[in-house]
Structure 1
């Protein structure tokens, strides 16, 4: 049995100034389904096509089961993002596709509910996942991919210190079409450079 670095019983939520991140639970279904339904038009250009039963409770149970399997195997750590002030679900962020051995790498993916986009919640969420990945999971490299015309996502990643490495041609089938993606990465040592730059600007 693998010892889990993040479980409901041994690890508290990741807490920030305005939000906290925790493992998705079956009890989150209604809140999640309502937010996803409300945000469907907003999310559609950036996600794979939704299945006809995507928002059904049975589909959500399977999603939770898959999340739990990923946590147990150490290959993924999904989080829902909640606002501290009222425990409102605002989106989700996942550290997934974790490869150990010579790679020690993982990929970050995220989504925001339409009513909460552009309010800085995802910036804070990424800021919580980065130390979790590097300090607790001991990863060496984080990756993220985004469609080139997704200006909001590219700004988010660059603000978090990710560097663009190149273009992945026809990388993922998004909204029913194979689409190119920019590949971004953050190396464990990069964050110290980013922190130094930020601190330098503050003290000037």
Structure 2
């Protein structure tokens, strides 16, 4: 099993049955760019517009710099998902907009590569992330948003114990258009974690 090489490094990992989460590293660029390229048609309908250099090394460096910035500011954390069996990159999950004080909450975003969609991997990753957020980070609430037509993402959130909370009008600019989003929330003391 190869995944142990990442557990002994500086990037802490969250380990599940079939996968583990760890912070992205510059050495991940080639596998990340290849997976995103293969998955472009699968991902673009649900994401902000891709920059012209989205899959370039410079684009990846900017992404890593943003990940480092939110970690340093304690406003978020980013992880890549890897298969335990062979260290294949599967996708990513990000906690952002952490609000402390009276709120103690943050927002989750995630993506899975097209070859790995529909295999329950993101469900496992989401459970690991929730345990980290509610346990290690001591958050009280997690939020997530999906496009109304993104039924697989909505099912994922409902299976993970999130509750639908309504529609946020023109919440995010997705693929160049301001889009309404269905909002979901989960509390630390909701059952089923």
Q: Tell me, yes or no, whether TM beats 0.5.
A: yes
Deviation, 1:114, is 0.3
Task: Give the secondary-structure state (helix, strand or coil) at the position aligned to 2:52.
Answer: coil
**Alignment pair present for 1:194 and 2:192:** yes
Deviations 1:173-198 (A, max 9, x none): 111111110110001110xx225xxx
Deviation, 1:163, is 0.2
Deviation, 1:42, is 0.6
Cα distance in structure 2, aligned partners of 1:110 and 1:46? 10
TM-score (norm 1): 0.88
TM-score (norm 2): 0.93
Deviation, 1:156, is 0.3
Cα distance in structure 2, aligned partners of 1:13 and 1:38? 26
**Alignment pair present for 1:75 and 2:75:** yes
- 1:39 is matched with 39
Uncovered stretches (5+) of structure 1, i.e. residues with no partner: 1-7, 196-204
Cα distance in structure 1, aligned partners of 2:12 and 2:109? 21
Deviations 1:30-72 (A, max 9, x none): 0000000000001111001100011110111111111111111
Q: How many residue pairs align between the two structures? A: 185
Do the aligned residues in 1 keep the contact of 2:14 with 2:20 (CA within 8 Å)? Answer: yes
Cα distance in structure 2, aligned partners of 1:136 and 1:30? 31
Deviations 1:77-97 (A, max 9, x none): 100000000100010001111
Cα distance in structure 2, aligned partners of 1:79 and 1:134? 16
Find runs of 4+ consecutive structure 1 residues off by over 4 angstroms. none
